[in-house]
Amino acid sequence: METCARSVPDYTPLVQTGDISAHDPAAIWVDGAVYLFSTGHRIPIRRSTDLINWQLIGFVLPGDVPEWAPQMIPGVEFPWAPDIAFFNGRYHLYYSLSTFGSQRSAIGLATNGTLDPSSPDYRWEDQGVVIESRPNQDSYNAIDPNVAFDENGQPWLVWGSYWEGIFLRRLDAHTGKPLATDPTVYHLAERPVERAIEAPFIVREGGYYYLFVSFDACCRGAESTYRVMVGRSESITGPYVDHRGVSMLEGGGTLVLQGYGRIRGPGHNGVFRDGSGRWFLVHHFYDGLDGGRIKMQVRSLLWRDGWPVVGEAYDGRYPGEGLEVGLELEGVWGYSLDYGQGVRVRLESGGGLSVCGGDGIWEGRGAWRVEGSELLLGLGSEAVRLVLEPGGRWAVGRDAQGRIVRLWKTTG
């Protein structure tokens, strides 16, 4: 009998380089470049043409906060969690003003005709307050804004953090502020017991609206437990449910990304598409191998049976776009469900699949084969399709229970 070591180190490359100390990132693709905005004094702006190398190119605000902020939000030090959107011929930059743990908060807006700082038309213009929240008066906390668009191109603002969760309201496309003729505020998601839900982001794909949120504890360095969850709805106003059909108003949510290896507390994601229509997810995390320092990652975002999954950190090769010539997939891989502890599996040369059992012995458990850019695993009575990274280093998908299945090449 051939022995094996059951546990396996996880696959957690960083990949993105340059100025990547970005908290609460949001990004937009414009004419061959991606512009990224994040929490920080004056709202820093980063730019990349390859989604790998990032450079700080400027700031949105002339000072740490707009002139009107200190009187409205006592103690505010710098803006949080910006979001960028383009509509009505201008770029709209929404951002949060608050102090930690407080419900006295506001969402502000700045606009610009271009994101190119070399253009003579480049000028951020303060548009003031969009929405605010007051203790003992409002059921929400007015932070973490995101602009979403419905099937007609109508902009909406989704926001919220803790308290009663996530809310949505229609925007006036001309002003970028709530539409006066429609005062309806929609309640989209809540965790009635745990409370820890924030950072909403809505996109539309394949007939559904997907509401991404972050659960649990942010901002605790390597001890952070932040994770990205999602639900979907046929209407932008809800109801949103998870893979099991549980309402997000009742704490439901399907896992998209959580901590593993050196990646601690990944969350507060943004979603964007490049010029080829490929989806990406950007998020921050705390580096467990670098003193818990805050860093940013970009990941491919794929849709599997109507639900999103993310790849490993993007390095210029997008999964599903064809495999490299002469690729050999036989050998030992790590295998995990929902970012849990990985175990070793072996893809045999004859198409068989072995698993390193609890007694440290390789056991034949199933079969595998490749179809196009997908790896089909038959493991016991389960069968799952995984999208392969072109270099054959990792694959990702979901099983019939909606769990994230990850596979990564290793040794031994």
3-class DSSP state of 237: coil
The C-alpha atoms of residue 92 and residue 50 are separated, in whole angstroms, by 24
What number of CA atoms fall less than 13 Å from residue 383's CA on the CB side? 5
The C-alpha atoms of residue 382 and residue 358 are separated, in whole angstroms, by 19
> Are 175 and 292 within one domain?
yes
pLDDT for 16 equals 97
What number of CA atoms fall less than 13 Å from residue 43's CA on the CB side? 27
Please provide the DSSP assignment of 305-318 as one string.
TTEEEEEEE--S--
Least confident segment among 2-6, 48-52, 84-88, 120-124: 2-6
Instruction: Work out the pLDDT band at 381, boundaries 50, 70, 90.
Output: confident
pLDDT for 49 equals 98
pLDDT for 7 equals 86
Q: Which of 24, 83, 164, 216 is catalytic?
A: 24
Q: Is residue 4 part of a domain?
A: no
The beta-carbon contacts of 348-353 under 8 Å, at least 24 apart in sequence, are 353/377, 353/378, 353/379
pTM, two decimal places: 0.96
CB within 8 Å of 76: residues ≥ 6 apart: 65, 69, 70, 97, 98, 99
Q: Is residue 108 part of a domain?
A: yes
**CA nearest to 241, candidates 301, 307, 303, 338:** 307
Sheet (strand 44-48) strand order? 17-18, 53-59, 44-48, 33-39, 23-30
> Are 252 and 384 within one domain?
no
Q: Is 64 a catalytic residue?
A: no
3-class DSSP state of 69: helix
Structure tokens at 144: 């973490």
> Are 44 and 175 within one domain?
yes
> Are 99 and 225 within one domain?
yes
The C-alpha atoms of residue 363 and residue 382 are separated, in whole angstroms, by 16
Q: How many CB atoms lie within 10 A of CB 409?
A: 18
The H or E element spanning position 233 is: strand 227-233
The percentage of the chain sitting over the pLDDT mark of 70, rounded to a whole number, equals: 100
Tens-digit pLDDT profile for residues 200-253: 999 999 999 999 999 999 999 999 999 999 999 999 999 999 999 999 999 999
Specify the CATH number for the domain of residue 121. Answer: 2.115.10.20
> Are 174 and 120 within one domain?
yes
Specify the CATH number for the domain of residue 400. Answer: 2.40.128.10
State mean pLDDT over 310-331. Answer: 94
Tens-digit pLDDT profile for residues 4-27: 988 899 999 999 999 999 999 999
Q: Which of 138, 164, 198, 312 is catalytic?
A: 198
Q: Is residue 129 part of a domain?
A: yes
According to DSSP, the residues that pair with 282 across neighbouring strands are: 270, 298
> Are 235 and 360 within one domain?
no
Instruction: Work out the pLDDT band at 412, boundaries 50, 70, 90.
Output: low
Q: Is the pLDDT score of 1 beyond 80? A: no
Q: Is residue 326 part of a domain?
A: no
- Overall number of domains in the chain: 2
CB 174 within 8 A of CB 192: no
Q: Is 198 a catalytic residue?
A: yes
Instruction: Give 7 or 145, the one with higher predicted confidence.
Output: 145
Structure tokens at 331: 């050998």
Average pLDDT taken over every residue of the chain: 96
Q: Is the pLDDT score of 150 beyond 70? A: yes
CB 97 within 8 A of CB 72: yes
Structure tokens at 309: 């999954």
The H or E element spanning position 70 is: helix 69-72
Residue 342: which domain range? Answer: 331-409
**CA nearest to 353, candidates 373, 372, 329:** 329
